[in-house]
Amino acid sequence: MRLAWAFHNRRLAALVFAAVQLAPAQAIFDGKTLAGWDGDPAFWRVENGAIVGETKPGAMPKQNTFLIWRDGAPADFVLDAEYRLTGGNSGIQYRSVELPDIRWAMKGYQADIDAEQKYTGQIYEERGRGFLALRGQAAQVEPGSKPVVLGSLGSEADLKGAINAQGWNQYHVIARGNVLVQVLNGHVMSMLIDEDAANRKLNGLIGIQLHTGEPMKIEVRNIRLKMFEPRP
């Protein structure tokens, strides 16, 4: 296991290095309007240069609802965004699909965010396999199996301490082939090698989650996308 993790650790370092060498990012949010994005107008708006999703007592969706970026379904990329969360639970969806029978509902990988900082940074699969790589874990999932932890990315105290609970945070999501890496405020929070070909997604939609249950507010700004060159 140690030798295997040493190999994957080198792979992680190479992937992060390659990601920062990519061409300049494309802004996928103009900071002024929801052009290119689609969600329930009862819950989403633009305010002070940020996308804002908010629920209030008496104004709560029946299930988790999403603001979906409609201008592409990227495969290999780096997604950068800044977020601030007030209460509740949210997340950034990627390589996801929209459910055919529920409007603005998504299934797929999620860069998790929550106000209590219990889940922030982990790789979760919405409406799918659930917890895939917890904060601080490099994990691998085989077909029909639960994720196996390959190694540690840092202590729980250090990684949790890197989260700005009250202010803005910088998320980087790196997706390359079947490898996913999530970086928060400069700290690698989670990594997944998804070998489950029947359930994984190698491309898909990007979205922002607004969680049902309790009043909350998610703000997201400076959303940018960098693309890797297609694999030969």
- Domain that includes residue 195, residue range: 2-227
| Residue 211, φ and ψ in degrees, nearest 5 | -85, 140
Residue 57: inside a domain: yes
Amino acid identity at 121: G
pLDDT digits (tens, 9 = 90+) for 127-146: 999 999 999 999 999 999 99
44/16: higher pLDDT: 44
Rounded CA-CA distance 189/208 in Å is 19
How many domains, the chain? 1
Which pLDDT score is estimated for 1? 37
Residue 116 lies in a domain: yes
DSSP state of 103: T
Residues 6+ apart with CB under 8 A from 59: 42, 43
Please, which pLDDT band fits residue 204 given cuts at 50, 70 and 90?
Answer: very high
Q: Is 194 in contact with 202 (CB distance < 8 Å)?
A: no
Nearest to residue 172, comparing CAs of 162, 186, 159? 186
- 23 domain-assigned: yes
Closest CA to 215 of 56, 16, 31: 56
Give the pLDDT band of residue 3 (cuts 50, 70, 90): very low
Q: Average pLDDT, stretch 99-116?
A: 97
**Assigned domain for 232 exists:** no
Domain presence at residue 202 = yes
In a domain, 111, yes or no: yes
Query: Does residue 232 carry a pLDDT above 80?
Result: no
pLDDT band at residue 229 using 50, 70 and 90 as cut-offs: confident
Of 225, 195, 181, nearest in space to 12 by CA = 181
Has this prediction a pTM greater than 0.85? yes
* Among 14, 15, 199, residue whose Cα is nearest residue 97: 199
The answer to whether residue 56 is domain-embedded is: yes
CB atoms inside a 10 Å sphere around CB 161: 12
Contact by Cβ (8 Å): 165, 143: no
Polymer length in residues for the chain: 232
Number of C-beta neighbours around residue 231 at 10 A: 8
CA 162 to chain centroid: 17
Token pair for 226 = 């960098």
CATH number at residue 43: 2.60.120.560
Whether the CB-CB separation of 190 and 62 falls below 8 Å is answered with no
Would you say residue 68 lies in a domain? yes
